[in-house]
Amino acid sequence: MSDNTRKTVNRKKTRYPVTDYERIFHPHRLAIIGVSAEENGVGFGAGMLKVIMAMGFEGEIFPVNPKGGTIAGLNIFKSVEDIPEKIDFAIIAVTARHVSEALEACRKKGAAGAEILSSGFSELGTPEGKDLERQIKEIADKGIRVVGPNCFGIYCPASGLTLLPGPDLSRQSGPVAFLAQSGGMSIDFAHAGKWLGVRFSKVVSFGNGADLRETDLLHYLKDDPETKVISMYIEGIKDGDSFFREIKAAAKKKPVIVYKGGLSRAGARTVASHTASMGGSRVIWQSVLKQAGAIQVHDTEELAQTSMAFALLPRKAFKGISIVGGGGAIGVIACDTAEIYGIDIPPLSDELQARIGDHLPKPGSSSVNPIDVANPFVAPPTLKEVLLAAAEDKRVELQIIVSLLFHYKTIANMFNKPVAEVTPFRELAQAIREVVDRTGKPVVAVLPNAKRGLDNLDITEMIAMARQEYIDRGIPVFDELHDAIRAIANVNTYYGGKNYEKR
């Protein structure tokens, strides 16, 4: 099929009214269909109602179940038709064979969209399942956009919509949008984001993607003012052509980070040429993402860490960095890692080295860059002076400070005090914030923990508290130096690349 014929069958041409994403992500009037007052409300629908209430959703909620009754102080409507006036959005959690009827009723009630949590569709691979999904698609084509079926739905902190088992997700909005087919991946990423310091604009788990899926959502997020960074986990896509077009267009405007799963069965096709045998799906995906200007990552940790770095760092590439830490090996490892990722650690000028040296304990310290502060107990005001001085070198565009806070356990034991009390993490976070404000150059914190055993749970807790102090001040914080450098390198790849439209 030639390119031209492909375009004429593109369904976008016959789209009905423009999708009202505002009413989908920020609904004022929300129907939840399949809420059973019986069984103590343990079904998906009742579960969803409760988590959305727990999130503090401010709009009106209309639970629906043919048996009626009440749940959580709300009157259950016997049918969608009984809901007074129009609705904006619906959550559908009835059994598969009742879904299309419910969806059609929501469409007639004026809903802009619906998420279908129910499973039992094309994922079964049965003719019945496929047929039920086709019915959903047909109704969607009449003008109601569908997320799902077989998904965990939408999480939107600003409106209080949340994923299925997510009553405890943050209500704080942020710049990162996340897309995945997988519901489990979405909820896990949303939770990981919470402690990593990633705040979300929208998270969408679209399951089977009968209607809305990666391509449409990329198209929307590209111009969504709430979204500054797009993060996605992809297993399969529906149409390579439109996907490529949309991801390339989106990546011109904002970073798009992709973790593509399911590359291990590359080369399953039978081919005759060397070119085809070397062009398995792993290498093609890698090439296509690069061509589109998207950033490819290789596991969920890198996805989350990279999203965080994009969200918190200024929009530019950081070619030269300084590294401040205690212990010679950290410096050596830092240099090795930075080189792999194409980042320079320039030696500071003699004048700056001398000034930094004046602050540092002797012997055992080094002020060349990496700057070795010799021991983990150097006080925050001193570290602040070191960072302020290193930032004066114009080749230093970003600073990393590695703080081995776990060593404070020794001091805690010495004075018989809790480790959280003797560790100056709050002062350090504050000092770093002041350095960033004064120098205009970002500082990235690394808080490794070599003591994670059961005998050191107090350290784990203290480091979690420390992380929060950094996150609250908008400072990117990582567990490991390698993670930090890799995330910075991903930022560099994007802003140093030519696809990004500088504005």
For 322, the token pair is 């300084």
Q: 310: how many CB neighbours lie within 10 A of its CB? A: 27
Closest distance between another protein and the C-beta of residue 297, in Å?
Answer: 18
Closest distance between another protein and the C-beta of residue 496, in Å?
Answer: 13
Residue among 342, 355, 421, 434 at smallest CA distance from 392:
355
Closest distance between another protein and the C-beta of residue 34, in Å?
Answer: 35
Residue among 116, 110, 123 at smallest CA distance from 45:
116
Q: Which is nearer to another protein, 279 or 327 (CB)?
A: 279
* CB-side neighbour CA atoms (13 Å) of 10: 15
- Are the CB atoms for 482 and 341 separated by under 8 Å? no
Q: Mark the segment that binds another protein (CB under 8 A) among 35-43, 178-186, 268-276, 486-494.
A: 268-276
> Residues 484 to 503: which contact another protein by CB under 8 A?
498
For 456, the token pair is 């050191």
- Regarding 142 and contact with another protein (CB under 8 A), the answer is no
Q: Mark the segment that binds another protein (CB under 8 A) among 105-113, 122-130, 150-158, 233-241.
A: 233-241
Q: Which is nearer to another protein, 247 or 420 (CB)?
A: 247
* CB-side neighbour CA atoms (13 Å) of 100: 18
Query: DSSP secondary structure string, 24-55?
Result: HHS-SEEEEES--SSGGG-SHHHHHHHHHHHT
- Regarding 291 and contact with another protein (CB under 8 A), the answer is yes
Helices first, then strands: H and E counts in the chain: 19, 18
Q: Which is nearer to another protein, 280 or 346 (CB)?
A: 280
- Regarding 379 and contact with another protein (CB under 8 A), the answer is no
Q: Which is nearer to another protein, 283 or 457 (CB)?
A: 283
- Three-state SS at 451: coil
Q: Which is nearer to another protein, 236 or 474 (CB)?
A: 236
Q: Which is nearer to another protein, 237 or 348 (CB)?
A: 237
- Regarding 272 and contact with another protein (CB under 8 A), the answer is yes
Closest distance between another protein and the C-beta of residue 95, in Å?
Answer: 33
- How many whole angstroms separate alpha carbon 422 and alpha carbon 410? 10
**Can you tell me which of 8, 40, 270, 273 binds another protein, judged by CB under 8 A?**
273
For 129, the token pair is 């399942």
- Regarding 457 and contact with another protein (CB under 8 A), the answer is no
Evaluate the CA torsion angle 26, 30, 36, 41 in order and state its sign.
positive
Closest distance between another protein and the C-beta of residue 274, in Å?
Answer: 5
**Can you tell me which of 269, 394, 417, 452 binds another protein, judged by CB under 8 A?**
269
Q: Mark the segment that binds another protein (CB under 8 A) among 271-279, 418-426, 445-453, 472-480.
A: 271-279
- How many whole angstroms separate alpha carbon 198 and alpha carbon 250? 20
**Can you tell me which of 13, 265, 274, 362 binds another protein, judged by CB under 8 A?**
274
- Regarding 270 and contact with another protein (CB under 8 A), the answer is no
Q: Mark the segment that binds another protein (CB under 8 A) among 8-16, 264-272, 382-390, 413-421.
A: 264-272
Spell out where 421-468 has E strands: 443-446
Residue among 494, 503, 486, 502 at smallest CA distance from 321:
486
Spell out where 376-454 has E strands: 398-402, 443-446
Closest distance between another protein and the C-beta of residue 272, in Å?
Answer: 5
**Can you tell me which of 10, 95, 172, 287 binds another protein, judged by CB under 8 A?**
287
**Can you tell me which of 42, 271, 354, 465 binds another protein, judged by CB under 8 A?**
271
- Regarding 332 and contact with another protein (CB under 8 A), the answer is no
Closest distance between another protein and the C-beta of residue 232, in Å?
Answer: 16
Closest distance between another protein and the C-beta of residue 502, in Å?
Answer: 15
Closest distance between another protein and the C-beta of residue 235, in Å?
Answer: 12
User: What residues contact residue 163 under an 8 Å CB cut-off, 6+ apart?
Assistant: 152, 153, 154, 155, 169, 183, 186, 187, 190, 203, 205
- Regarding 290 and contact with another protein (CB under 8 A), the answer is yes
**Can you tell me which of 14, 40, 264, 275 binds another protein, judged by CB under 8 A?**
275
- Regarding 237 and contact with another protein (CB under 8 A), the answer is yes
Residue among 441, 99, 480 at smallest CA distance from 325:
480
- Regarding 283 and contact with another protein (CB under 8 A), the answer is yes
Q: Which is nearer to another protein, 276 or 457 (CB)?
A: 276
- Regarding 411 and contact with another protein (CB under 8 A), the answer is no
- Regarding 267 and contact with another protein (CB under 8 A), the answer is no
Specify the long-range contacts of residues 1-5, CB closer than 8 Å, at least 24 apart: 3/241
**Can you tell me which of 7, 184, 276, 364 binds another protein, judged by CB under 8 A?**
276
Q: 270: how many CB neighbours lie within 10 A of its CB? A: 7
Q: Which is nearer to another protein, 404 or 489 (CB)?
A: 489
- How many whole angstroms separate alpha carbon 397 and alpha carbon 48? 46
- How many whole angstroms separate alpha carbon 213 and alpha carbon 151? 12
- Regarding 278 and contact with another protein (CB under 8 A), the answer is yes
For 373, the token pair is 């502060």
With contacts defined by CB under 8 A, how many residues of the chain interact with another protein?
A: 24
Give 256's strand partners. 230
Binding positions for another protein, rule: CB under 8 A: 1-3, 237, 240-241, 244, 269, 271-276, 278-279, 281, 283-284, 287-288, 290-291, 498
